[in-house]
Structure 1
Amino acid sequence: MRIVIQRATEASVTIDNQVKAKINTGLMILLGIEDQDNTEDIEWLTNKVVNLRIFDDEDGVMNKSILDVKGDILLISQFTLHASTKKGNRPSYIKAAKPDIAIPLYKEFITTLESKLGKQIGTGEFGADMKVKLINDGPVTICIDTKNKE
């Protein structure tokens, strides 16, 4: 599992010209799932997300988590995070999980993250053509891959 986390002052996702979800202060997360991912990856990654200290404290130091600031999360599925560009100029997405594997893991990721955050999160729609808007605060952008835990 691979994510790109962006600290946001606002973010939204639009599908078919309709805003599906919108957040203010919080995190906009792009999530890529590959075939080998499992529940252990979800548990580890959601713990990392809710405890990552990337929000400023009173002294302007990144020392607070999404839980501390009571922020929101917008989660977007994005298989292109697993693009391989080693050969040629057309990315290969062979590592990205097919929908029969990815959709259940995506749904479990949402449920687990909501449980740890203590509230609902905004989401896109798996496989949809989405337009994502973001005001990245900082900018702060962090990439995490469960295959690089150690």
Structure 2
Amino acid sequence: MLAVVQRVRSANVEVSGERIASIGQGLLVLVCAEPDDTPATADALLAKLLKLRIFNDAEGKMNDSLQQLNGGLLLVSQFTLAADTSRGNRPGFTKAAPPDLGRFLFNYLVAQAKQLHNPVEAGLFGADMQVALINDGPVTIPLSVRIP
């Protein structure tokens, strides 16, 4: 799975002018499933997200995780993370999982996250979403999780 992790002061998602998800301080994570991904891949990504030490501790060092902070987790599906621009100027998306698999894995990731952490919010798979955020730092980290 591919992800772009953004440490945020706040973030929200709107669909058709209606706010469907919102968090305060925490992580906004853009997520893309790839064709070979499985629930185990989603589990590995979630474990990494919850334990990634990118929040400042009492001394101002990036030492604390989302779990330690009890911050919000906002998951947003974004198949364009798998864009292939190696041939020409129009991106191809064959490296993204097919829609049914992508939907299944995204929904699985959200369900697992809600069992292990609170608060968890999510965008709407396949929707035209408007995502707003206040990036904190800014801290933005790309992740690629693969299960051998």
- Alignment TM-score, normalising by the size of structure 1: 0.95
CA distance in 1, matches of 2:2, 2:109: 12
> Which one-letter code corresponds to 2:79 in the other structure?
F
CA distance in 1, matches of 2:110, 2:23: 15
Structure 2 residue aligned with 1:133:
132
Q: Does 1:35 align with 2:32?
A: no
CA contact (8 A) 2:10 2:134 kept: yes
Structure 2 residue aligned with 1:8:
8
* Residues matched between the structures, number: 148
- Alignment TM-score, normalising by the size of structure 2: 0.96
- Unpaired runs of 5+ residues, structure 2, are none
> Which one-letter code corresponds to 1:123 in the other structure?
A
In the TM superposition, residue 23 of structure 1 has moved relative to its aligned partner by 0.7
CA contact (8 A) 2:8 2:26 kept: yes
- Unpaired runs of 5+ residues, structure 1, are none
> Which one-letter code corresponds to 2:133 in the other structure?
L
CA distance in 2, matches of 1:11, 1:123: 11
Q: Does 1:66 align with 2:66?
A: yes
Q: Which moved more, 1:138-147 or 1:74-83?
A: 138-147
4+ aligned runs moved over 4 Å, structure 1: none
Secondary structure (helix, strand or coil) at the match of 1:113 reads: helix
Root mean square deviation of aligned Cα: 1.3
Structure 2 residue aligned with 1:103:
103
CA contact (8 A) 2:71 2:119 kept: no
In the TM superposition, residue 116 of structure 1 has moved relative to its aligned partner by 2.1
Structure 2 residue aligned with 1:144:
143
Secondary structure (helix, strand or coil) at the match of 1:127 reads: coil
> Which one-letter code corresponds to 1:84 in the other structure?
D
Structure 2 residue aligned with 1:19:
19
